Amino acid sequence: MSKLFFFFFIFLMGPLLAQCHTKGLRPGRELWRGLPTGKQQAANMTRDEYSEQQFMKWVNFVGSLKHSIFKAAKNKLSPSYTLTVDKNPAAGDFTSIQDAVDSLPFLNLVRVVIKVHAGVYNEKVNIPPLKSFITIEGAGADKTVVQWGDTAQTPGARGQPMGTFNSATFAVNSPYFIAKNITFKNTAPVPPPGAVGKQAVAFRISADTATFLGCSFLGAQDTLYDHLGRHYYKDCYIEGSVDFIFGNGLSLFEGCHVHAIAQYTGALTAQGRSSMLDDTGFSFIHCKVTGSGALYLGRAWGPFSRVIFAYTYMDNIIIPKGWYNWGDPRREMTVFYGQYKCMGPGASFAGRVAWSRELTDKEAKPFITLSFIDGSEWIEL
């Protein structure tokens, strides 16, 4: 029995123990073999042409990666049983979401659907690492709301500031999580420019293979903490002011509406990729960016930060430069920021920083389908 428990523990804790999600992280020698020296480089190949050639080798390498660390593991989509949550004790199994989660076995290995009836639920929710295969389903993002108001400076259990990580209204630490038709909200107000300790997370996902369908994420600074793992967001609404989609996940946002509520200057993303070997990044396809203030598409939180926007409408709130180097010019050499066939008054590439890219068809291909997150292995809509 103890050996079996150990196996399941390692199986479920994997996404938390690994900061990167790729098998064979180091590119094979064939990727780098044959790099020409100055004498070997063809006389008719300019430095720019040579750089472009090497860049395309890197793009092809990234496109060939398999990110799965659980290739044999499969998502469990058919519910074994369903629980209901309602503010009226007579109308549901539980009156709080956390109570419903706590009722599950310490080690959960079957799909459980928790249906949360319409209402505003004032509570913090935490799903622990071994309670996998949980679905949280609301009655509609405009009808079912989970909210709380902690910030990074809110005192924790020991009286010290709890920090950004623990400020989340709703935190998920287990794999194969699904959320549908529900709103996650942090009620902390928009902080003034330069304020310290005002990070206020509405939702944190710290596990692999999570799906979000028709959900809303409402907050100001640091609304959605896409911490680690592979994630798929479809038809979601995400609102905030500064770095309101951040973290080091490998995530695809499809058909999402991203809305800024910045008073002055804000940033949509702060992707935290810290190494060229990290297979992480954010890709936005067929999305819409609107709102107030002046907005950067992203800030280079990680020195190898990677963000792509494709087929996305951008309102005139986008700062022409598009991207910010986090005050470190060295990051301009290592980040990967790109646009592909975007539209709208804020989508013009003319004023973008020189270290971002307007992608070609070939360059964009690895980032604009479910294969970017190995979706065919675990997503079934």
Whether 277 and 143 share a structural domain: no
pLDDT in the model for residue 61: 58
Whether 247 and 132 share a structural domain: no
Whether 54 is in a domain gets the answer no
pLDDT in the model for residue 18: 42
Whether 233 and 381 share a structural domain: yes
Whether 197 and 255 share a structural domain: no
pLDDT, one tens digit per residue, over 104-137 is 999 999 999 999 999 999 999 999 999 999 999 9
Q: Active-site residue 142, yes or no?
A: no
Predicted TM-score of the model (pTM): 0.83
Query: Under DSSP, is residue 337 helix (H, G, I), strand (E, B) or coil?
Result: strand
The CATH number covering residue 357 comes to: 2.160.20.10
Q: Which residue has the higher pLDDT, 369 or 31?
A: 369
Whether 292 and 370 share a structural domain: yes
Whether 168 and 295 share a structural domain: no
Residue 57: band (very low, low, confident or very high) from pLDDT cuts 50, 70, 90: low
Whether 74 is in a domain gets the answer no
Q: Which residue has the higher pLDDT, 192 or 246?
A: 246
Q: What's the whole-number mean pLDDT along residues 234-247?
A: 97
Whether 135 and 249 share a structural domain: no
Q: CA-CA distances (angstroms) from residue 45 to 40, 73, 99?
A: 11, 47, 66
Whether 11 is in a domain gets the answer no
Residue 33: band (very low, low, confident or very high) from pLDDT cuts 50, 70, 90: very low
Whether 96 and 175 share a structural domain: yes
Whether 58 is in a domain gets the answer no
Check 243, 278, 279, 374 and give the catalytic one. 243
Whether 235 is in a domain gets the answer yes
Residue 272, pLDDT > 50, answer: yes
Whether 241 and 377 share a structural domain: yes
Residue 36, pLDDT > 70, answer: no
Total structural domains within the chain = 2
Whether 360 is in a domain gets the answer yes
Whether 375 and 237 share a structural domain: yes
Q: What's the whole-number mean pLDDT along residues 141-164?
A: 95
CA gap 91, 34 in Å, rounded: 69
Whether 125 is in a domain gets the answer yes
The answer to which of 33-37, 236-240, 290-294 has the lowest mean pLDDT is: 33-37
Whether 292 and 348 share a structural domain: yes
For the four alpha carbons of 325, 326, 329 and 330, in that order, the dihedral sign comes to: negative
pLDDT, one tens digit per residue, over 293-309 is 999 999 999 999 999 99
Q: What's the whole-number mean pLDDT along residues 236-253?
A: 97
Q: What's the whole-number mean pLDDT along residues 178-183?
A: 98
pLDDT in the model for residue 157: 87
**Could you write out the three-class secondary structure of 68-97?**
CCCCCCCCCCCCCEEEEECCCCCCCCECCH
Q: What's the whole-number mean pLDDT along residues 58-78?
A: 57
Residue 35, pLDDT > 70, answer: no
Range of the domain at 299: 229-381
Q: Which residue has the higher pLDDT, 24 or 321?
A: 321
Whether 63 is in a domain gets the answer no
Task: List phi, psi (to 5°) of 23.
Answer: -80, 140
Q: Which residue has the higher pLDDT, 84 or 65?
A: 84
Percentage of residues in the chain having pLDDT higher than 90: 74
The mean of the pLDDT values for the chain is: 86
- Contact residues for 335 (Cβ-Cβ < 8 A; gap 6+): 300, 303, 304, 305, 306, 323, 325, 355
Residue 50: band (very low, low, confident or very high) from pLDDT cuts 50, 70, 90: low
Across 35-39, 50-54, 285-289, the highest mean pLDDT is recorded for: 285-289
The answer to which of 34-48, 243-257, 333-347 has the lowest mean pLDDT is: 34-48
pLDDT in the model for residue 78: 72
* Run of H or E including 14: helix 2-17
> Angle at the Cα of 319 (from 317 to 323), degrees rounded to 5?
130
pLDDT in the model for residue 196: 86
Whether 166 and 312 share a structural domain: no
Q: What's the whole-number mean pLDDT along residues 234-242?
A: 97
Percentage of residues in the chain having pLDDT higher than 70: 80
